[in-house]
Homo-oligomer: A and B are copies of this chain.
Amino acid sequence: MTAIHERHLFGPGPSNPYPEATAALAEPLLGHLDPLFLTLMDETCDRLRAVWGTQNARTLPLSATGSAGMEAAFVNTVHEGDVVVVAVNGLFGRRMCDVAARCGAEVVAVEHEWGEPVDVDRVLSAHPDPRIIAAVHAETSTGVRSDVAALGAGKGDALLVVDAVTSIGGIELRADDWGIDVGYAGTQKCLGVAPGLAPFTINDRAFERRVEKPRSWYLDLGLLGGYVGEAQGSGGRTYHHTAPTAMVASLHAGLGRILDEGLQAVWQRHADAGRRLQDGLQEMGLELFAAEGHRLPELTTVRVPDGVDSAAVRRILLERYDLEIGAGAGEYASTVWRIGLMGRNARPDAVALVLTALREVLEEVRGTTVPG
């Protein structure tokens, strides 16, 4: 490795971790069965309940990244041949279809134009009696927020599976009030912790309908329950696998920082930063990609101006300013940028930096002045 670079991580994730989360990574390591670690794990699960907005006993950090959370959601709930209705309004909805199908689901994909929120009526009427309805709360590929509460209100007998990877810790999320039966997330976005864990929650209703012996041993919630959640307070712990103790300690610290600041205050901070960024981009004459009224504050999508080399701009930002923004996803790879201001980065100084740097680079590559 060459010299260490301090990057501004303003892409779609990971974001720069909260300092408390980074410091915890380097604290002396604990064993996964140490009483001190078990206490830390219990507290972490409590803190996760707070950010999920849930009372679910089975709320825990899975020992893998957010995508494994998606897999855990489906591998534990999809019985062979179950109808799963998936709202697809971006890359992660599309991925849900793939993962659910591998678990044996009969997938009914409800396609949307990218940049648009989920059409709740179309999703709810896509099948007369689905076992599962699945949707992404905050689409990382497009920067769009969808109305999960409305899906929960209309789900009927179906289970509602929700991807909260980019929403948790950044915008309002109320798993219990909104009728979310199974939810998964990641640590590396608005929670402000390095990537590596998948915060997960499942309620009793979904757990009772679960697959008794899922194809995955690693993600089998029936087995995992013996290690966290269910056994909490009983004193009886069953070894399942070696928990990633450094990462859990880091998540514990990051969540502590968020709850100390106050969840409402953190949401407000994200809302403010996102608004400032989106206003500033429009003042520069740039066009936002996500549909108005459904834009995520923590992840902004903006169209690359005509004639501008998207990758060249990103490269200059990275090399000169140590500033990372994301390319667009899928077919929008070269026509959209994704700018994330998540967790620690949801601050006015970050907004000012990214707007200034982007203006300077755009003026340079276009040879003209940018308004705003």
Contact = CB atoms under 8 A, between A and B. Distances in A.
Is the contact region of chain A dominated by helix, strand, or loop, or is it mixed?
A: loop
A125 interface: no
Contacts of A240: 67
Contacts of A14: 29, 31-32, 242, 245
Interface stretch (A5-13, A112-120, A144-152, A154-162): A5-13
B31 A11 contact: yes
Interface string A3-38: 011110101011011000011011111111111100
A63 B66 contact: no
Interface residues of A, number: 65
A255 to B, nearest CB: 12
A270 interface: no
A215 to B, nearest CB: 5
Copies in the complex: 2
Interface in A51-97: 63-68, 70-71, 75, 95
Given A67-B242, A188-B242, A213 B102 contact: yes
Interface of A: 1-2, 4-7, 9, 11, 13-14, 16-17, 22-23, 25-36, 39-40, 43, 63-68, 70-71, 75, 95, 98-99, 102-103, 186, 188, 194-196, 213-218, 240-247, 252, 318, 324
Contacts of A245: 14, 194-195
Contacts of A103: 215
Given A68-B241, A247-B247, 15 more contacts: A1-B39, A1-B43, A5-B28, A6-B28, A7-B28, A11-B33, A13-B242, A14-B242, A75-B216, A102-B214, A194-B244, A194-B246, A195-B242, A215-B216, A244-B247
Nearest to A327: B33
Contact of A64 (B1, B17, B27, B218): B218
